[in-house]
Structure 1
Amino acid sequence: MTGLTLIGFQDSVYTRAVRLALSEKALAYAYDEVNPFTEDGQARLAGDHPFGRVPVLRHEAFDLYETQAILGYLDDAFDAPQLFPEDARARARVRQVMGITDSYLYQPLVRQVFSHGVYRAHMGLAAEAAVLRQGLAASGPVLDALEGIAAAGLVLTGRDVSRADCLLAPMIDYFALVPEGRAMLEARPALSRWFAGISARAAFAETRPGFVAVLEGGR
């Protein structure tokens, strides 16, 4: 037994990033679903996360939050397959992609494009077309940066899975649910090849939130 418990919210891209890593490493774990956007969820997270967010990983008596820290811990604490390449330059690219994802990609692609393009309507909430447009405008330079990295071939190959793949894939998956986002992705061949490869993996399908099938069925 691994002694692992993941506290998360299934719609969260960051929760899914950890679930992808756990699946790729074939690690068994208990899962505790908590909605951080409700009062009950915030009450349950008290003592686990000082900022009331998910995911939180519990390994026996050791609790850890922040997705990048969790992904690194899973590699350090458990055996192969490792999700961090041996080559120094490839390692640097993994760190770079993760930094880009957190700092420049999450807000426009997920919080703006995905949220106001499909998710808010799915949840019965009002969406703002202006926010969607802002997100699409800001997404282009981020995708261009990742296209260059993917084209260089050190990481984002769609074959060898790294921590960067685990962090990035859930966000691109959500972004591509919006027709304009899908078109922007398809206009970047290296990034599209990467996404086709990563989305064909069993872990990707296993961790995909159930509501995505509902959204795709409504296209």
Structure 2
Amino acid sequence: MAVRLYHFPLSPFCRKVRLTLAEKRIEVELIEERYWEPSNDFLRRNPAGKVPVLRWDSRVMSESQAICEWLDETQGAPQLLPRDPDQRFEVRRLCAWFDDKFHEDVTSKLLYERVNKKVMGLGYPDSKNVKFGATRIKYHIDYMAWLLETRRWLAGNDMTLADFAAAAHLSCLDYISDVDWNRQPAVRDWYAKIKSRPSFRSLLADQVPGFPPPAHYADLDF
């Protein structure tokens, strides 16, 4: 079986897929893709010109949530989507929350402005966007803390794709020191718990040229 993931290290969508693959103990070849300069080969793999793209033998799959759900349905434990329809709905709702609302409010305003623009040669950060993202992340961290008041994990008492979606975004932002882990101890404890999992190791080893991570990024006792 040949498994390749075309990805960009600081893409939260790619990281969600990487966490799922690692949690399932599936060996994968990571191929960094400059998706903003798409080659004809890459566009044949995904005409949308986006990462991640997973090549699994003869299959070529795109869209992170669809990939993760396919992996959960076809591969072994652990199960990352509950069997109960109501619980499964909550996982999917939270995945959409982070991949849509959190991404729009925070990731696109902080990570993309501070890192992606420079990497892609698109100029300097927009200070209004950065300020907006820095304000909105507080709201989202407070919301996560509210969820964790009655749950061990974000969507319930078991770790799910919802935790991977959230951790993927926050880990990218932590790489550029844009998360105030002291704001909500419950969120810090949740992140420490998921960060310490073996599936997280490859993320903590990521390096983006020109953007060294802070000292605490790979520290499990941050």
CA contact (8 A) 2:153 2:190 kept: no
Find the counterpart in structure 2 of residue 126 from structure 1. 124
Q: Say which SS state the counterpart of residue 149 (structure 2) adopts.
A: helix
Q: CA deviation at 1:22?
A: 0.6
The 3 A distance-change label for structure 1 pair 157 and 76 is closer
The 3 A distance-change label for structure 1 pair 178 and 46 is closer
CA contact (8 A) 1:15 1:55 kept: yes
- What CA distance in whole angstroms lies between the structure 2 residues aligned with 1:18 and 1:10? 12
Find the counterpart in structure 2 of residue 198 from structure 1. 194
CA contact (8 A) 2:6 2:32 kept: yes
Q: CA deviation at 1:175?
A: 2.3
CA contact (8 A) 1:8 1:56 kept: yes
Q: Percent identity?
A: 25
CA contact (8 A) 2:3 2:54 kept: yes
Find the counterpart in structure 2 of residue 9 from structure 1. 8
The 3 A distance-change label for structure 1 pair 161 and 115 is same
The 3 A distance-change label for structure 1 pair 218 and 195 is closer
Find the counterpart in structure 2 of residue 150 from structure 1. 148
After superposition, where does 1:102-121 map in structure 2 within 5 Å?
102-117=99-114, 120=117
Q: CA deviation at 1:123?
A: 7.8
The 3 A distance-change label for structure 1 pair 123 and 37 is closer
Q: What is the identity, as a one-letter code, of the residue corresponding to 1:28?
A: E
Q: How many residues align?
A: 214
Deviations 1:156-185 (A, max 9, x none): 389953211222212112223455x422x4
Root mean square deviation of aligned Cα: 2.9
Unaligned runs of 5+ in 2: 218-222
Q: What is the identity, as a one-letter code, of the residue corresponding to 2:32?
A: E
- What CA distance in whole angstroms lies between the structure 1 residues aligned with 2:208 and 2:155? 27
Unaligned runs of 5+ in 1: none
Deviations 1:102-126 (A, max 9, x none): 2210123211123335665688852
Q: CA deviation at 1:20?
A: 0.9
CA contact (8 A) 2:45 2:53 kept: yes
Find the counterpart in structure 2 of residue 68 from structure 1. 65
Q: What is the identity, as a one-letter code, of the residue corresponding to 2:29?
A: A
